[in-house]
Amino acid sequence: MKISEIGEFGLIERLKGLLNSHIIGDDTAPIKLQENTLLLTCDLLLQDRHFRIHYPPSAIGWKAISVNVSDVVANGGEPLYCLVSLILPDLEVRYVEGIYLGIKKACEFYSCQVVGGNISKGDKLGLDIFMIGKADRFVGRGGAKVGDGVFVSGTLGDSRAGLELLQMEKKHYEDFELRLIEKHLRPTARIDFIRHISKYANASMDISDGLSSDVEKLSKASQVKISLFSDKIPISQELVSFCKRHGKDPLEYALSGGEDYELLFTHLPERLNPFLSMVQIGFVEEGEGVFLDGKPLKPTGFDHFRVV
């Protein structure tokens, strides 16, 4: 049996069982240390899988930090410290410095700090970030309750459109296209939601692999049925314009596009905060599975080992 036959998440489940771990399975690992709850996470960005070498190096550094901060925020925490491990071809030193300028700007923005790391030579560039955060209350994927509303932050699908625009390698991009590209190159973790998630959410995770895949993970972890409504899923005007021009379906981008780094969470419907960029897209019900407009929703988001 090869990994492609069971997929990235099937492999994770097998390894979790092999380790007999009851901690593995959320965006971060919550570790209790005296009166504190520490949140541990790591994420790897690899050349030609997550980015191209011609992308601005500062954007690569920014994104490497942001995707880890997003995990910490998703579990109701704030980032503290990180270690940066680099796999480096024989690049120009200025390029590597550019990556670290992006890392520095991101750490200043998120109020966290690089405290060390490691470097190894390799054929392709890779950045592996290990991050530590802290939380007053850990909020994982397994706490959704019947009667909760299902909410998301921001808009969905923009990053995938931005990636496709980058792959077109156009000589000129319109303003709305540049905004989509920025969503892909320099995502911003939703630190504005830390207090809300910590105080009100029953279940929470970030949307990194696409809504359809991530909502299934939350449903399984919480052992509940989730019903979504397509007309409630937030889609930006930029994505609508992109899809209209290229004959695409913006809903499909919102459901399947990865790397949005928005938040998916549940709590009582009346806890909706009108001052935050959040929308209720469905309900938590008794049962199992995920449904969109009453029909079963197949997970179609990102999987590193999916055969296409």
Q: Dump pLDDT digits (tens) for 188-243.
A: 999 999 999 999 999 999 999 999 999 999 999 999 999 999 999 999 999 999 99
Cβ atoms 157, 179 nearer than 8 A: no
Cβ atoms 280, 232 nearer than 8 A: yes
Q: CA 249, CA 138: separation in Å to the nearest integer?
A: 36
The reply to whether 155 and 101 lie within a common domain is no
The reply to whether 153 and 287 lie within a common domain is yes
Cβ atoms 109, 186 nearer than 8 A: no
Cβ atoms 280, 149 nearer than 8 A: yes
In a domain, 143, yes or no: no
Output the pLDDT for position 302.
59
Residue identified by tokens 């949140």 is 39
The reply to whether 29 and 155 lie within a common domain is no
The reply to whether 184 and 131 lie within a common domain is no
Q: CA 127, CA 109: separation in Å to the nearest integer?
A: 19
* Residues linked to residue 265 through DSSP beta bridges, in sequence order: 151, 204
Confidence of residue 303 (pLDDT cuts 50, 70, 90): low
The reply to whether 7 and 120 lie within a common domain is yes
Nearest residue to 230 (alpha-carbon basis) of 260, 203, 254 = 254
The mean-pLDDT minimum among 18-27, 113-122, 139-148, 165-174 falls in 18-27
Domain that holds residue 247: 149-296
Q: Dump pLDDT digits (tens) for 172-193.
A: 999 999 999 999 999 999 999 9
Last residue of a domain, one of 80, 109, 135: 135
CATH label of the domain that carries residue 42? 3.30.1330.10
Measured CA distances, 253 to 160, 300, 302 (Å): 7, 10, 12
In a domain, 302, yes or no: no
In a domain, 301, yes or no: no
Q: What are the DSSP E strand ranges found in the chain? A: 29-33, 36-46, 77-88, 113-121, 126-135, 149-153, 203-207, 225-228, 262-267, 278-285, 289-292, 295-296
* pTM of full prediction above 0.85: yes
The reply to whether 162 and 280 lie within a common domain is yes
Q: CA 32, CA 208: separation in Å to the nearest integer?
A: 26
The reply to whether 159 and 272 lie within a common domain is yes
The reply to whether 61 and 179 lie within a common domain is no
The reply to whether 118 and 67 lie within a common domain is yes
Total number of domains in the chain: 2
The reply to whether 124 and 159 lie within a common domain is no
